[in-house]
Amino acid sequence: MRRKADRQRIVVGSTRLVKELLSPRNDQHLRFMVITLPPGGQSEDVIIGEGEKGGVVIEGRVRLSIGADDSILDDGDSFQFPSSLEHKLSNPFERQARVIWIMSVVDTHI
């Protein structure tokens, strides 16, 4: 269990994307977080490897690029894909966006 007050909050990249860890500290195989993307925000230095990633947009709209495919996802839309694929999450829109991001972790040093 992780209480809201105990969430680790990290601001990353030049676009100031915010990650809040939701999964308990002792969980070894599943990570989930809330990612907040300001307008113009995008993921940088994503982890590529074994496992799965998925999530749901809980506020705003985002662009999810997986390989050569781009999709615009709206509030309530969900997704899932192999972690081995190149991917990027971005917010080219004028409103903040929030996504619950879920990863199965095969390599537990992450």
| CATH number of the domain enclosing 78 | 2.60.120.10
Domain interval for residue 14: 4-104
First to last CA, the chain: 19
Convert the pLDDT of each residue in 13-22 to its tens digit.
888 899 999 9
Examine residue 110 and state whether it is found in any structural domain, yes or no.
Answer: no
With respect to residue 73, please indicate whether it lies within any of the assigned structural domains: yes
What's the pLDDT score for residue 46?
82
- The tens digit of pLDDT for each residue in 67-95 reads 999 999 999 999 999 999 999 999 999 99
Q: Residues 43, 90: contact at Cβ < 8 Å?
A: yes
A 10 A CB-CB count for 9 gives 11
Number of domains in the chain: 1
C-alpha span between 84 and 53 (Å, rounded): 9
Residue 109 resides in a domain: no
